[in-house]
């Protein structure tokens, strides 16, 4: 029943009709206003879709691009020199084409030759000495970085590889260890990497890839990790990242459901934890220089305990066993890396990545949105970094500020220790890079800002001999190591040519620039993207 009405006459019949008087419209609520706006936009979109001659709307795309540009502008200032490939704005600031990141991505996404389907059929006979040297090389050059194999793997390896090789995750894992080991051996020995034995093993694995991908057990995840590492050794970071993403998804699902699985013994859970951290380290390394998908693996880092490295797998062919008798003494001695050293490195690397994840750049944002260098944060970050160093076990503790007067590339007998040193000084460079960038932007440097710019140069000088050596000694991270050489050096070259920094300049950075010529050109030439980076770097060095 209406609240009010009026009387009118309906036409010529003079019949009085009652019509309800509409009540006063209530004040429009915020939600109704938003709904009305949404309806208007939907009507607008409908009219565009119905009109075939109407131009395609670009508003949403433009808004997305503007948003992405705003985010990049906000984060560019804080990006470390070894992550500059992600940012167009910073590439321009360093005097490079802003499309260099796109070109690198294009080169890395170029298709590679598909594995031959006949790969498995060619593996009729596997020589024992070949299998032995492959396993030894794997432990010496690969397992030390990503210790994911279970204790007693050596016996399992020889048992499976000398058998009929029935398609299964375990067979895939054994063949992958052989493939990666042979590849590592050929890289270290400067052998020809085409038509090599390692590709035969790898092709056999790839024919069984559906078995690995469809399986959800830990062995299959280890296979995916090793496929990723194989591509890392071949300097194909994009392909490596693809398989790393699959491994990351699988290990996260496995850990989330591990508590409810009856077969998840403490030993199996510990192995899963070890694989989780290995995948996290691998993905973190591969994501440094490219804008690639994030698997979300960091969401579990506070819920997954640190690995108990007391049972790290090692080259455990017992002395006096038939396998040991058939193996050369040199193979046995080189493969048996100190397990304490591997365990200590693994935990130190996890700690380093966690520290970088929390905060790795000394910037702050003002009330008006301006990004500026924060020297107080830089000092705090350096204190945290030094605290990390002080907790390093003696077995992997590296020397700080060693004399660089000769600027020789001295290959450390322990590549693990040298790689930690590289990361330490990369962090130092990253901490003080915003100070240099602010000076480059403002054209003024004095006081504390000038002191921190000097620390940037000092850190770069300490970094370069070690990172050149790491390129030789760490074959699993060669692509990202050279990308770090490129970006750190480009940043340092830009800094030494900044006029207001001339008072603190010295000859040492220039002497470090010449160290780049020590990088093996034959290795660089196997990667189109690294060849591009090296050519750009050499052109800049030639100009001076």
Q: Is the pLDDT of residue 103 over 80?
A: yes
Q: Is the pLDDT of residue 63 over 60?
A: no
pLDDT band at 308 (very low <50, low <70, confident <90, very high): confident
| Greater pLDDT, 20 or 352 | 352
pLDDT band at 54 (very low <50, low <70, confident <90, very high): very low
Q: Is the pLDDT of residue 304 over 50?
A: yes
Query: What is the mean pLDDT of the segment spanning 247-276?
Result: 85
- Contact status, residue 297 vs residue 282, Cβ threshold 8 Å: no
Residue-wise pLDDT for 489-517, tens only, equals 999 999 999 999 988 888 889 999 989 98
What is the per-residue pLDDT for 388? 96
Tokens standing for 390? Answer: 């002080």
Burial class (CB in 10 A: 0-12, 13-18, 19+), 126: middle
Quote the pTM value: 0.81
Q: Is the pLDDT of residue 140 over 60?
A: yes
- Contact status, residue 428 vs residue 362, Cβ threshold 8 Å: no
- Contact status, residue 275 vs residue 222, Cβ threshold 8 Å: yes
What is the per-residue pLDDT for 261? 59
- Contact status, residue 486 vs residue 537, Cβ threshold 8 Å: yes
| CA–CA gap between residue 487 and residue 84 (Å, rounded) | 6
| CA–CA gap between residue 361 and residue 96 (Å, rounded) | 23
What is the per-residue pLDDT for 10? 47
Q: Is the pLDDT of residue 43 over 70?
A: no
Where do the H-state alpha helices sit in 408-527?
415-442, 447-473, 478-496, 508-513, 521-524
| Greater pLDDT, 9 or 100 | 100
Structural domain boundaries in the chain = 120-337, 359-543
Q: Is the pLDDT of residue 55 over 50?
A: no
| CA–CA gap between residue 242 and residue 229 (Å, rounded) | 11
Residue-wise pLDDT for 345-395, tens only, equals 999 999 999 988 877 778 888 888 778 888 999 999 999 999 999 999 999
> Which range, of 121-130, 292-301, 414-423, averages the lowest pLDDT?
121-130
What is the per-residue pLDDT for 415? 94
- Contact status, residue 5 vs residue 20, Cβ threshold 8 Å: yes
* DSSP string for residues in 181-198: HHHHHHHHTT---SS-HH
Q: Single out the residue of 73, 100, 71 nearest to residue 487, CA to CA.
A: 100
pLDDT band at 334 (very low <50, low <70, confident <90, very high): very low
| CA–CA gap between residue 340 and residue 320 (Å, rounded) | 24
**Whole-number average pLDDT of the chain:** 79
Q: Is the pLDDT of residue 341 over 70?
A: yes
Tokens standing for 85? Answer: 């490939």
| CA–CA gap between residue 7 and residue 133 (Å, rounded) | 105
Treating both helix axes as pointing N-terminal to C-terminal, what angle do 153-161 and 128-141 enclose, rounded to 10 degrees? 150
- Phi-psi bin for 246: left (phi > 0), alpha (psi -120 to 50), beta? alpha
| Greater pLDDT, 104 or 209 | 209
What is the per-residue pLDDT for 331? 47
pLDDT band at 95 (very low <50, low <70, confident <90, very high): confident
| Greater pLDDT, 69 or 519 | 519
Tokens standing for 322? Answer: 């038939």
Burial class (CB in 10 A: 0-12, 13-18, 19+), 124: exposed
| Greater pLDDT, 261 or 415 | 415
pLDDT band at 484 (very low <50, low <70, confident <90, very high): very high
DSSP strands (E only) in 271-387: 363-365, 371-373
Task: Show contacts of 276-279: CB within 8 Å, 24+ apart.
Answer: 276/251, 276/252, 276/300, 276/304, 277/304, 277/306, 277/307, 277/346, 277/350, 278/146, 278/147, 278/148, 278/225, 279/221, 279/225, 279/244, 279/247, 279/248, 279/251
- Contact status, residue 177 vs residue 194, Cβ threshold 8 Å: no
- Contact status, residue 372 vs residue 363, Cβ threshold 8 Å: yes
Taking CA atoms, 406 is separated from 172, 429, 461, 508, 515, in Å, by: 47, 21, 12, 10, 11
Residue-wise pLDDT for 192-234, tens only, equals 544 578 888 899 999 999 999 999 999 999 999 999 999 999 9
- Contact status, residue 89 vs residue 97, Cβ threshold 8 Å: no
* DSSP string for residues in 74-137: HHHTT--GGGGGG-HHHHHHTTS-TTHHHHHHHHHTS--PPPPTTTGGG-S---HHHHHHHHHH
pLDDT band at 130 (very low <50, low <70, confident <90, very high): confident
């Amino acid at each position: 029943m209406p609240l009010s009405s009026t009387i009118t006459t309906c036409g010529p019949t003079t019949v009085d009709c009652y019509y309800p008087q509409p009540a006063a419209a209530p004040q429009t609520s915020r939600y109704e206003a938003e709904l009305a706006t949404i309806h208007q936009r939907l009507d607008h979109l409908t009219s565009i879709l119905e009109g075939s001659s109407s131009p395609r709307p670009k508003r949403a795309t433009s808004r997305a691009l503007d948003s992405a540009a705003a985010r990049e502008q906000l984060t560019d200032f804080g990006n470390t020199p070894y992550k500059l490939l992600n940012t167009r704005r910073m590439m321009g600031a360093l005097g490079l084409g802003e499309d260099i990141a796109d070109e690198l991505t294009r080169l890395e996404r170029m298709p590679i030759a598909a594995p031959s389907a006949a790969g498995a059929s060619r593996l009729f006979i596997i020589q024992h000495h070949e299998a032995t040297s492959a396993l030894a090389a794997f432990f010496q050059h690969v397992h030390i970085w990503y210790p994911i194999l279970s204790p007693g793997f050596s016996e399992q390896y020889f048992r499976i590889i000398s058998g009929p090789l029935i398609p299964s995750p375990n067979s895939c894992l054994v063949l992958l260890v052989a493939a990666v080991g042979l590849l590592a051996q050929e890289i270290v020995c400067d052998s020809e990497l085409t038509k090599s034995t390692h590709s035969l093993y790898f092709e056999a694995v790839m024919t069984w890839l559906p078995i690995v991908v469809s399986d959800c057990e830990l062995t299959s995840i280890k296979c995916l990790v090793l496929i990723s590492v194989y591509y890392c050794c071949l300097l194909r970071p994009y392909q490596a990242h693809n398989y790393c993403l699959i491994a990351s998804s699988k290990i996260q699902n496995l850990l989330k459901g591990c508590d409810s699985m009856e077969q998840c013994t403490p030993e199996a859970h510990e192995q899963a934890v070890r694989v989780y951290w290995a995948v996290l380290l691998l993905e973190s390394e591969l994501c440094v220089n490219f804008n690639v998908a994030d698997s979300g693996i960091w969401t579990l880092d506070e819920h997954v305990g640190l690995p108990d490295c007391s049972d790290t797998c090692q080259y455990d062919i017992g002395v006096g066993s038939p396998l040991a008798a058939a193996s050369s003494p040199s193979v046995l001695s080189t493969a048996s890396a100190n397990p304490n050293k591997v365990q200590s490195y693994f935990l130190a690397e996890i700690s380093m990545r966690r520290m970088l994840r929390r905060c790795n750049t000394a910037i702050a944002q003002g009330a008006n949105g301006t990004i500026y260098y924060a020297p107080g944060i830089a000092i705090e970050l350096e204190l945290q970094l030094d605290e990390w160093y002080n907790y390093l076990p003696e077995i992997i503790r590296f020397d700080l500020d060693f004399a660089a007067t000769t600027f020789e590339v001295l290959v450390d007998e322990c590549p693990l220790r040298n790689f930690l040193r590289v990361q330490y000084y990369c962090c130092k460079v990253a901490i003080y890079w915003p100070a240099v960038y602010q000076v480059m932007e403002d054209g003024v440097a004095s006081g504390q800002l000038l002191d921190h710019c000097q620390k940037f140069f000092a850190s770069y000088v300490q970094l370069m001999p070690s990172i050149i050596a790491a390129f030789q000694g760490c074959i699993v991270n060669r692509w990202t190591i050279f990308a770090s050489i490129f970006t750190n050096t480009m940043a340092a070259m830009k800094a030494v040519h900044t006029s207001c920094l001339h008072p603190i300049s010295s000859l040492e950075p220039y002497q470090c620039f010449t160290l780049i010529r020590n990088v093996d050109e034959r290795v660089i030439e196997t990667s189109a993207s690294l060849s591009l980076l090296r050519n750009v770097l050499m052109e800049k060095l030639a100009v001076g």
